[in-house]
Amino acid sequence: MTQPKIIGELAVVALKAIVGKQDPFCVFRLGEVAKKTKTDYRGGQHPLWDDQVNIPVPEGKTKMRVQLFDEDSKREDLISEGEIDITKAITEGEADDWFPLTYRGRSAGQIYLELTFYSAVSVDG
């Protein structure tokens, strides 16, 4: 199987969220790659991460999956998730906004993300 062409890298800063669990962290998935933020211990319903992950952007991928988990000593429980359209970040270079999250089809909070796209294509020549 051939590897997809990487068109650049997306820097994702998980800044804050409004959710309903205790020790949340984020997992971002784009193509075959998944990256995880640090856990905000005792972050409660208003976690603050201010944590950046960098994810390669495969050609043709414009949707990134975000999942918030509650870190428990025994397991990691899904709190909420969403699909983020990264087209604006790819075309304009950045996109900062609140994105909706759901759990089992119902609204389950929001996450504020700062997205910055760094193209792999050289503009010099």
Domains of the chain (ranges plus CATH)? 6-119 (2.60.40.150)
What would the mean pLDDT of 45-74 be, rounded to a whole number? 91
pLDDT value, residue 76? 79
pTM listed for this prediction: 0.86
d(CA 52, CA 13): 4
- Residue-level pLDDT at 86: 97
pLDDT digits (tens, 9 = 90+) for 69-122: 998 767 778 999 999 999 999 999 999 999 999 999 999 999 999 999 999 876
Cα separations in angstroms, 5 against 22, 32, 58, 60: 39, 12, 6, 9
Q: Can you give the pLDDT at residue 124?
A: 52
- pLDDT value at 61 more than 50: yes
Q: What's the mean pLDDT in 47-70?
A: 94
pLDDT at 73: 63
- Mean pLDDT score of the chain: 90
> In this structure, are residues 92 and 81 in contact, taking their beta carbons and an 8 Å threshold?
no
Q: Give the pLDDT of residue 125.
A: 43
